[in-house]
Structure 1
Amino acid sequence: MAVSKNVLYIDQLYRQESTWLISWLLKRIESRELAADITQDTFERLIKRKRLHQIATIREPRAYLTTIAHGLLADHWRRRTIEKAWLETASSLPHEEIPSPEVQHIILETLTEIDQMLDGLKPAVRKAFLLAQLDGLTGKQIAKQLNVSLATAERYIANAFRHCYALCYE
């Protein structure tokens, strides 16, 4: 009985706030379809984050919904930036080396996952990790580029590896 009461509350919240949330999103983006998608994803994430019986305890539902929607919108823009960079890279390849659409999709998904993994790192740690992994720089070269000691550069890289390991295996 209590679960059905909470389901009714979610339904009521969606009916009351979804149109408002779409309007809020439309002030930030031009696409009604994207606003509707993000609104849907916002409520889906709300349900996943909160236990069903806790949703009714949200004191400021609009503030809570806009916080979630803002994060989803940031994810969308970050993904578009990654997609644009990938398309620019792919367009510069010789025609015969351009991956199939399926492989391009996998590459884009992988790049997005990597971006999400690295998002939790401090900027200097992320930069040190990328310099080591993508540019193949040594700890000494990274230290020089970041204007930090060798020990700090090595600590940054180790922290990034621990962070990625924890996300993958814990």
Structure 2
Amino acid sequence: MSGADILHRKHVDGLFRAHYHWLCTRLRQSLNDAAGAEDIACETFVQLLQAPGLTAIREPRALLTTIAQRLLYQRWRRGDLERQYLQQLQQAEPIHAESPEALAQLSQTLTRVDRSLQRLPGKVRSTFLLSRIDGLTYPQIAAVLGISLRSVSDYMTRSQALCDRHSANQSLNRPLQNKRSA
């Protein structure tokens, strides 16, 4: 660990000690959920730790509020998507009953996809989800995440490469079907 990294960690530690409780209180007012507020506050400081070249911050509470609001937006959007998905599942007519094996395989596939996405750095994962799940354009993603269009494009390339690798692995693992039984 370099001297700059140590100074960076000490700086973020000082910010944490000075502003963590304030940020939790502020988030509790928005969420009405103490545990959720603490989760978002912690994630806010994790993102600060991961920010390269963080220099002296003139308005730390403004920065913390901005990061926390982005995380809140992501949390609310994810909750909206989950509710929409569950609502669609409840309204959907099953075409045919899936076998327990097929359901287990689907569950395993979703778990692998989720693990793959979790391995991506936060902004890469957020960029992918905002594009593919939320349907945002690159300029909209850049505005939400506070990054450049070039970064959005690079992050999408990285996440697409992950999807391509996952898809290739899935096609290799898929059993061959007997044409007569199909």
Say if 1:17 and 1:62, in contact at 8 Å, map to a contact too.
Answer: yes
Q: Which runs of 5+ in 2 are unaligned?
A: 118-125, 141-151, 161-182
Using the size of structure 1 for normalisation, the TM-score is 0.59
- Aligned counterparts of 1:13 and 1:28: Cα–Cα separation in 2: 21
CA 1:108–1:90: 2 relative to 1, 3 Å = farther
* 1:102/1:32 CA distance change after superposition, 3 Å: farther
Report the alpha carbon displacement of residue 119 of structure 1 after superposing the two structures with TM.
2.4
SS of the residue aligned with 1:168? helix
Q: 1:116 matched to which residue of 2? A: 130
TM-score by length of 2: 0.56
Question: Runs of at least 4 residues of structure 1 off by over 6 A?
Answer: 106-110, 163-166
Cα distance change, pair 61–36 in 1 and its aligned pair in 2 (3 A) = same
Q: What is the number of equivalent residue pairs in this alignment?
A: 127
After TM superposition, the structure 1 = structure 2 runs for residues 153-168 of structure 1, keeping only pairs within 5 Å, are 167-168=156-157
Task: Decide which moves more: 73-82 or 5-14.
Answer: 5-14
In structure 2, the partner of 1:147 is none
Which amino acid is the alignment partner of residue 96 of structure 1? A
1:18-61 superposed Cα distances (whole Å, 9 cap, x missing partner): 1000011111111111100000110111122233xx34x11110
Give the drift of 1:5.
3.7
Deviations 1:101-130 (Å, cap 9, x if unpaired)? 5556678898x875412424468xxxxxxx
RMSD: 3.4
Q: Aligned letter for 1:33?
A: A
Distance 2:127 2:108 in 1: 17
Sequence identity percentage? 27
Correspondent of 1:50 among 29, 49, 52: 52
Deviates more, 1:64-73 or 1:24-33: 24-33
Does residue 1:73 correspond to 2:90, yes or no?
no
SS of residue paired to 1:27: helix
Task: Flag the 1:122–1:63 CA change in 2: closer, same or farther, 3 A.
Answer: closer
Gaps of 5+ in 1: 124-162
